[in-house]
Amino acid sequence: MSAPQLSPSGFDLTPPTAEERKRLEASLTAEEADVLLHHGTEAPFCGGLLDQKDAGVYCCRLCGLPLFEHRTKFESGTGWPSFWAPVDEAHVKAVRDVSYGMVRIETTCARCGSHQGHVFPDGPPPTRLRYCINSVSLEFVPYGAPLPDRLGRGEGLATASAASATNSSAMAPSGRG
C-alpha cells in the first residue's frame, strides 16, 4: 500500500477505495446524491446551512474532509452558503465546467471528487473569491466537536477548533503531518 497523500494541514487526501465509496454513497439521501454525485444544484434560499451562523467547520458530506470555516462565510445574497476561502486550498479542487452554455469553475472535494458548487471572482477581500456551495454538500461541525471520520483514517480524533482560524495545523488529525 502506498503512503497517504497528505494536505498541508495534515489530512489524508487519498481517494476512497471502490468499496469505501459504495458505502459512503449508500448513506446519502436522494437530494444529496443528486448534488454530490450528479452535479445537481439545490434550490436557492432553501439550504439548511444558508443561515448557519455558529462557529465551526463545514465538512464534505460524502467523505468528511474539512472544506470551509465559519469565519470565511459571508452573506452573498445568492441563496447558497458562500465562503471567501477554503480551510486548506488542497482540500478543494477547481474543475472547468462548460455545462449549460456557460464557462464556470466547479468546486469538488479534493479527496472524494464530490460536487460542492462553483467559485466566482466576485467575493469580498482578502481573496475576492466567492465559493458558492450547496448546503447538502456540506456537514456543519461546531467547534469542539469531533470531525467526521467516515473513512476510518483517524481523523475523528481531530476536533474543529477556533485555533484553526490562525493555524491550519491545529485542526490536523492527531499523530499526522
Read off the pLDDT of residues 1-51 as tens digits, 9 standing for 90 and up. Answer: 567 889 999 999 999 999 999 999 999 999 999 999 999 999 999 999 999
Q: Please report, to the nearest 10 degrees, the dihedral formed by the alpha carbons of residues 128, 38, 47, 54 taken in order.
A: -60
Read off the pLDDT of residues 139-172 as tens digits, 9 standing for 90 and up. Answer: 999 998 999 999 998 886 667 764 344 334 445 5
Contacts of 90 (CB under 8 A, 6+ apart): 7, 8, 9, 13, 110
Residues annotated catalytic, as ranges = 132
Q: 17, 18, 16, 103: which is closest to 64 by C-alpha?
A: 16
